[in-house]
Structure 1
Amino acid sequence: MEPIKIDGEQGEGGGQIIRSAVTLSAITGKPVDIENIRKNRKIPGLRPQHLLGVKILAKICQARVEGLYVNSTSLKFFPSQGLNLDLQEDIGTAGSIPLILQVLIPAVSLMKNSLKLSIIGGTDVPWSPTFDYTKYVLTEALSRIGINFTSEIKRRGYYPKGGGLVETQIQPCNCLNPISLVERKTISAKIFCSYSHIPKEIAEKEIQNAKIILGKNGFNCEISIKEENALDKGCSILIFSHDKSSVIGSDGIYQKSLSGLGESVAKKFIESNLGVDLYLSDMLVVPLSLIKETSVYRVKQITKHLETNLFVASKITGCKYGIGKLDDGFEVRISGVSDT
């Protein structure tokens, strides 16, 4: 079978297009040829943080891979039959564990395989969802589709040293279900904060700032603050809510200063008042593109990552999608050609 050609300059033009293409390739069994990888970035081509997810997936689906090296601007991925595996991996840097799990979770489950994975790297790092977002938001959303996994943190890994340890178990999917997530109706929210090597009172102040903002907007809050072991100092905050017609999360991490972190995360959460948040909107595309029935969700903005995933999914699976403008956001509809 000739590989499907994917232009890596499409959409956000970065790592997202690689993750989505190889995930769908593994699930569908269709080989892909990705060109112009990160062509317009300051350092073009594959970076170390992009490699491990593809390497692990290649092990699982016994894929032949061409171009899998640092700075490569093209990648060919030829999948084969999936395996049930128990793996131990080390990114070797503070590379994002949540971004690697974005590749592995739907791919393994929808190939109807299982995976037990212990992985060392970054759990809460820049330009990535936090581990807690993966555990409390992505887990909930994917479970409604029929994709189930558990993920437990054994040690936090902040930038730049990393060293975080996560254990994940992914189960085979038995049945895919369409979803409808259009409007948040709950007034209950949970705030989860983890921190390491910073004064507790500083973290508590940020959480109180977040609680005040949520309270002014009518939300009842359940708060959890936990000091955790890590090599570097750091802090992450997640605010999330679930109800029948919405799954929404907002997160942020300590970088140069904690000042304003709680307020920033709370304001993003308040703004996400439709069915899903901006980050979840693109993570849902891969599984939904494989379901015959139409799924619908509403989001405040159409991001480049969402555009990228819709482009890749339609190219590989042949799914149909539409985006409609609302008074306060957008509605996304996705219809797959056939169930996996």
Structure 2
Amino acid sequence: MRLIDGSQGEGGGSVLRIATALALVNQEAVTIENIRKKRPVSGLRPQHLLGLRALTDLCGGELVGGKIGSESITFHPGSEWKSNLSVNIPTAGSIGLILQVFQVGMLASADHRVTISFQGGGTFGKWAPTVDYIQNVTWQIFKQMNYHLELSVNQHGFFPKGGAEVTVSMNSPSKLTGVNLTQGEELKNTTISSIATTHLKNARVAERQAEEIQHNLAEHDIDATTNISISDAKNPGSGVLVYSTTGNAIIAGDAVGEKRRSAEMVGQTAFQNYFSTLSNQCSVDKFLADQVLPVMALASSSSTFTTPILTKHTRTNINLIENLTGAKISIEKFDKKFQLSVDV
């Protein structure tokens, strides 16, 4: 039995997600105390509880203390894997955050395939990876590691009502390989993917988000293909992603629409996130770093990448991953970037 202090580092939900997913991989029970102790409202929130219950259901495990507000839980991983799983989210809770748990936990079993149907929840939300980002960035990196995951969206969901419908296929590899991510000499396949709900069609929100990014890219002589989507949803919402391939890296930036925030500001934020990584000659953006580290730590060979900023999430994840996997993650600071090496 492992005992994890949930207040360590940034003290948020990422400690919970990584600790339980790696407990499944290690087939070792874990107790997490002081859950989200540093947050204004401590303890489990509905979204965290949904993720824990879904992981428990996936592997046939047992969850003790799983209730809203709980500051301590014990997760006993199982080994009776389901091939089909249904996850119902009655709120706008992030599907992306639940997928972060699954994409690590699935590595407990080689050559296993599971189909997950999400009913409800959000495909776009603040402080969480969007499904567009996961599909076009995160999982494209994992594909290079021999880890294949796919998703299809039947309906998008936005805060506050959610209502998404998403189907996910996960295939754990027989052998997960490491990857050394580096920028190449030229950008390829630069794409802008901009979405808004039908409520915002007349205001041209999706188009304006994309046009802001196009304008910024043009100033740096970068051509892009633009995909505009107008989606039915339970309430207004929008989001935008810009990404390019270079070498074996994917440079990306995204942003989600909010009330009293113009479409142009949303587009500008996405571009700034993208250009921060590109201009500093990094191979991973500051948000992708903490998503790829747990998977890299479980590979059969070592991995490296560079990132412009080490977020609190990433620093917290590094300490936790080293403690739970035995991998060694070293950090080397350069002028405008950090190089991370994951030695297994």
TM-score by length of 1: 0.94
From 276, 280, 304, the counterpart of 2:312? 304
Give the superposition deviation at 1:225.
Answer: 0.3
User: 1:109–1:171: 8 Å Cα contact kept in structure 2?
Assistant: no
* Between 168-177 and 256-265, the greater mean CA deviation after superposition: 256-265
How far has the Cα of 1:285 moved from its partner? 1.2
Distance 2:302 2:3 in 1: 26
Closer/same/farther in 2, CA of residues 139 and 200 from structure 1, 3 Å limit: farther
Separation in structure 2 between the aligned mates of residue 335 and residue 5 of structure 1, nearest angstrom: 24
Q: 2:233 aligns with which of 230, 236, 248?
A: 230
Separation in 2, partners of 1:217, 1:13: 39
Match of 1:37 among 35, 38, 55: 35
Q: C-alpha offsets along residues 165-224 of structure 1, whole Å, 9 cap, x if unaligned?
A: 110011121211111113354323110011101025333122111111012123120100
What is the DSSP-based 3-state SS (H/G/I as helix, E as strand, rest coil) of the residue aligned with 1:149?
A: strand
User: Aligned pair 1:63/2:64, yes or no?
Assistant: no
Assess if the C-alpha contact under 8 Å between 1:106 and 1:147 holds in 2.
Answer: no
Q: Which residue of 1 is the match for residue 256 of structure 2?
A: 253
What amino acid maps onto 2:192 in structure 1?
I
Higher RCO, 1 or 2 (CA under 8 Å, sep at least 6)? Answer: 1
- In structure 2, what is the equivalent of residue 148 of structure 1? 148
2:296 pairs with one of 271, 288, 312: 288
1:118 alignment partner, SS class: strand
Kindly indicate whether the alpha-carbon contact (under 8 Å) linking 1:186 and 1:241 is maintained by their aligned counterparts in 2: no
How far residue 295 of structure 1 moved from its aligned partner, in angstroms, is 0.9
Q: Which residue of 2 is the match for residue 215 of structure 1?
A: 218
Report the CA distance shift for 1:182/1:326 in structure 2 as closer, same or farther (over 3 A): farther
CA contact (8 A) 1:185 1:245 kept: no
Q: Is this contact kept in 1: 2:187–2:245, CA < 8 A? A: no
Deviation at 1:75, TM superposition (A): 1.4
Contact 1:7 1:34 in 2 (8 A): yes
Indicate the percent of aligned positions where both proteins have the same amino acid.
29
| Separation in 2, partners of 1:185, 1:73 | 49
Which residue is equivalent to 1:323? Answer: 331
User: Do 2:156 and 2:232's aligned partners in 1 also have CA atoms closer than 8 Å?
Assistant: yes
Q: Superposition pairs for residues 123-162 of structure 1, below 5 Å? A: 123-162=123-162
Residue 4 of structure 1 corresponds to 2
Q: CA deviation at 1:243?
A: 3.0
**Cα 1:281/1:185, change in 2 over 3 Å:** farther
User: How many Å apart are 1:259 and its aligned residue?
Assistant: 3.7
Aligned to 1:101: 99
CA distance, structure 1, for counterparts of residue 330 and residue 133 of structure 2: 27
CA distance in 1, matches of 2:185, 2:314: 24
Query: Conserved in 2, the CA contact under 8 Å of 1:187 and 1:218?
Result: no
**Structure 1: 5+ residue runs without aligned partners?**
none
Higher mean Cα deviation, 92-101 or 241-250?
Answer: 241-250
Q: Aligned equivalents of 2:42 and 2:179: distance in 1?
A: 37
Separation of aligned partners in 2, 1:264 and 1:184 = 24
Moved over 3 A (4+): none
What is residue 271 of structure 2 aligned with on the other side?
266
Quote the Cα distance in structure 1 between the aligned partners of 2:314 and 2:205: 35
Aligned to 2:191: 190
- Rounded to whole Å, the distance in 2 between the matches of 1:327 and 1:186 is 22
Q: Distance in 2 between matches of 1:107 and 1:175?
A: 15
* 69, 88, 91: which one aligns with 2:89: 91
